[in-house]
């Protein structure tokens, strides 16, 4: 039996009391992980330990090695660091949440599940009418600075405060839940950047992102090639998922009508006919008139070559287009 301890960031994980379990506990690092994966190490069973720093994780390929390491062990135990805010810890937790769908994963020191609680990514900014924007990495500012994202540029044009209900890799049903659970008031403006259909979220005991302690997001662009051992593509294309997504748009329309808030929804590049055929019947849904990005943002080091993101000029174009439609 192989038991793997994973530390949050550094190899200080070796100071933990798992040596009481196995005096010969072995550190897995960037120098011996290939031998471990190929079963070439002298130690075949017992306790192993590692961390982001031990493995030298700096890109998406390195993450694949961490996942393969977990999948080859019989049980994975995670030892958290002192801070939940550092990106290394959030990265490990995000993928452990997926791994635990097929492998036992325990979280020390409490060894248990946290109670599920739905949390908003952002909150209301003012008692005056304000702007709400929701979307995936096209909206959250992947590849550009915060003040360059279309939501901020649009808010500046409208002279309004803005709340960002955004997370990279998240899906439309999550965005709509965020909006309909927010304190949207009369004369507010809600703008939803519609993302790809083949994304969904599920809850577990780990923290996947800073504001959603036990919610994980899967999307076909990033996760399916990596997690084909764990998930079937059918989960992302099922009729039930399509129908629930369409119902979410209806829920959003009704919510904004009751709140007396103005709603605009838009799409760029995401092309799934099942949902788009419905959205094109709505008079407040828009397709962005660009065949390609005007420019692209800085590459996300953990998703290199998988998909590009809009750059500053494209974000400005989004803001200009939406401003004209709002006028």
Please indicate, yes or no, if residue 102 is contained in any of the structural domains: yes
Question: The domain containing residue 145 runs over which residues?
Answer: 131-326
Closest listed residue to residue 150, CA positions, set 291, 321, 327, 301: 321
Please indicate, yes or no, if residue 114 is contained in any of the structural domains: no
Indicate if 65 and 173 belong to the same structural domain. no
Indicate if 169 and 309 belong to the same structural domain. yes
Indicate if 289 and 184 belong to the same structural domain. yes
Indicate if 100 and 145 belong to the same structural domain. no
pLDDT of 122 strictly over 50: yes
Out of 54-58, 85-89, 130-134, 195-199, least confident range: 85-89
Indicate if 151 and 293 belong to the same structural domain. yes
Based on DSSP, count helices (H) and strands (E) in the chain, helices before strands: 12, 12
Other beta carbons within 10 Å of 256? 22
Please indicate, yes or no, if residue 245 is contained in any of the structural domains: yes
Indicate if 140 and 102 belong to the same structural domain. no
Residues 112 and 106: their CA atoms lie apart, in Å, by 7
CATH number at residue 72: 3.40.50
This prediction has a pTM of 0.63
The DSSP line for 92-113 is HHHHHHHHTTTS-EEETTTTSP
Please indicate, yes or no, if residue 251 is contained in any of the structural domains: yes
Please indicate, yes or no, if residue 11 is contained in any of the structural domains: yes
Please indicate, yes or no, if residue 123 is contained in any of the structural domains: no
Other beta carbons within 10 Å of 50? 27
Structural domain count, the chain = 2
Indicate if 281 and 135 belong to the same structural domain. yes
Residues 216 and 206: their CA atoms lie apart, in Å, by 8
**Nearby residues of 279 by Cβ (< 8 Å), 6 or more positions away:** 194, 249, 265, 267, 285
Please indicate, yes or no, if residue 121 is contained in any of the structural domains: no
- Contact in structure between 167 and 209 (CB atoms under 8 Å): yes
What is the predicted pLDDT for the residue at 51?
Answer: 82
Indicate if 59 and 135 belong to the same structural domain. no
Residues 209 and 166: their CA atoms lie apart, in Å, by 11
> Which residue among 49, 73, 107 closes a domain?
107
Gyration radius (Cα) of the chain, Å: 22
Other beta carbons within 10 Å of 41? 14
What is the predicted pLDDT for the residue at 112?
Answer: 38
Q: How far apart are the first and last CA of the chain?
A: 65
Alpha carbon 232 to its chain's center: 19
Indicate if 98 and 184 belong to the same structural domain. no
**pLDDT tens track for 123-156:** 999 999 999 999 988 898 887 899 999 999 999 9
Residue for token pair 């209806």: 250
**pLDDT tens track for 83-104:** 544 556 666 766 776 676 677 7
User: Partners of 46 in the beta sheet?
Assistant: 2
What is the predicted pLDDT for the residue at 275?
Answer: 85
């Amino acid at each position: 039996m192989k038991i793997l301890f994973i530390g949050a960031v550094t190899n200080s994980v070796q100071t933990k009391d798992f040596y009481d379990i196995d005096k010969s506990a072995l550190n897995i690092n960037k120098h011996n992980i290939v031998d471990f994966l190929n079963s070439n190490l002298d130690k075949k069973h017992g306790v192993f330990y590692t961390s982001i720093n031990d493995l030298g994780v700096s890109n998406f390929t390195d993450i694949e090695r961490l996942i393969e390491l977990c999948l080859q062990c019989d049980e994975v135990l995670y030892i958290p660091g002192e801070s939940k805010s550092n990106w290394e810890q959030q990265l490990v937790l995000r993928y452990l949440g997926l791994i635990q769908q097929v492998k036992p994963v325990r979280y020390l020191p409490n060894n248990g599940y946290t109670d599920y609680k739905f949390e908003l990514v952002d909150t209301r900014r003012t008692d005056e009418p304000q702007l709400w924007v929701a979307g995936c990495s096209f909206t959250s500012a992947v590849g550009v600075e915060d003040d360059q994202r279309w939501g901020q540029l649009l808010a500046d044009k409208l002279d309004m405060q803005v709340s960002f209900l955004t997370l990279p890799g998240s899906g439309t049903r999550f965005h709509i839940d965020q909006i309909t659970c927010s304190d949207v008031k009369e004369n507010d403006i809600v703008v939803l950047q519609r993302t790809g259909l083949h994304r969904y979220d599920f809850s577990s005991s780990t923290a996947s992102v800073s504001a959603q302690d036990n919610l994980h997001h899967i999307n076909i662009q990033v996760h399916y090639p990596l997690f084909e051992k764990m998930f079937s593509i059918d989960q992302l294309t099922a009729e039930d998922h399509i129908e629930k997504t369409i119902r979410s748009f209806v829920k959003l329309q009704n919510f904004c009508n009751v709140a007396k808030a103005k709603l605009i929804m838009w799409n760029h590049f995401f092309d799934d006919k099942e949902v788009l055929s419905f959205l094109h019947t709505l008079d407040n849904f828009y397709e962005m008139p660009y065949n390609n990005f005007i420019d692209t943002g800085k590459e996300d080091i953990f998703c290199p070559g998988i998909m590009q993101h809009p750059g500053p000029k494209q974000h400005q174009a989004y803001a200009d287009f939406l401003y004209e439609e709002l006028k």
